[in-house]
Structure 1
Amino acid sequence: MSAAKTKAQSIIDENPVAVFSKSYCPYCKATKQLLSEMGAKYYAIELDQVDDGAAIQDALEEMTHQRTVPNVFIDKKHIGGNSDLQSKKKELPNLLKSAGAV
């Protein structure tokens, strides 16, 4: 397994909510805002601000078949991007609670 894939996997495994993000991305901001409004503890990594960001993005694409950010995981399960997260607004409180994120 590549170092980037190992790093991505450990971020997913170690955090109830993991957001792979880019600091300038409006969809990423919307995702983090929604999670904050829900009172969720989440870990966000800004792929444009870390040296191995491009490699992590490649690894995530391999793992999830999703190239875009934000790439969101709750309780180690791939949720998808911002529109996927927003469409789950009703179930989010329960998802976050069962993940131990609230």
Structure 2
Amino acid sequence: MNLVRRFFASATSPQAMSDAKNKAQSIIDENAVAVFSKSYCPYCSASKKLLDSAGAKYKLIELDQVGDGSAIQAALKEISGQSTVPNIFINQKHIGGNSDLQAKSGQLKSLLAEAGAAEL
């Protein structure tokens, strides 16, 4: 059943794609930190763990748990050029995926502070 749903979800209409792109862009624009993730992804888990350990406040979208998740993921490819998850934005700037975030771990607290996304 899940395979069938995924197959049909991948055939998104132009309107659904436009809606997904607007939704993704709004999430990026309205949140100091936005993480587009999948609940079962170990790289996503590593990114969330790092953000949590840095005291980050972030908007989390689990793409495998929302109805328009595959359309949002396709829209993120247009927005960021990255089709994989996690897809992370801090202060409306595309950070990249887990390896990119891990590489910035030394700068993370200052990036979060600049974005106003660090818990005090």
Q: Calculate the TM-score normalised by the size of structure 2.
A: 0.83
Q: Which residue of 2 aligns with 1:26?
A: 42
Shift of 1:60: 0.3
Q: Which residue of 2 aligns with 1:91?
A: 107
Determine helix, strand or coil for the equivalent of 2:64. coil
Q: Which residue of 1 aligns with 2:55?
A: 39
Shift of 1:18: 0.3
Cα offsets for 1:22-57 (capped at 9, x unmatched): 000000000000000000001110000000000000
Q: Which residue of 1 aligns with 2:9?
A: none
Larger Rg belongs to:
2
The CA distance in 1 between the partners of 2:27 and 2:68, in whole Å, is 14
Shift of 1:73: 0.1
Check if 1:7 corresponds to 2:23. yes
Determine helix, strand or coil for the equivalent of 1:48. helix
Instruction: Please list every run of at least 4 consecutive aligned residues from structure 1 whose deviation after the TM superposition is greater than 3 angstroms.
Output: none
Match for residue 89 of structure 2 among 55, 73, 76: 73
Q: Which residue of 1 aligns with 2:13?
A: none
Determine helix, strand or coil for the equivalent of 1:2. helix
- The letter of the residue matching 1:93 is K
Q: Percent identity at matched positions?
A: 70
How well do the aligned residues superpose, as a CA RMSD in angstroms? 0.9
Where structure 1 has 5 or more consecutive residues not aligned to the other structure, the ranges are: none
The structure in which a higher percent of residues are helix is 2
Shift of 1:81: 0.0
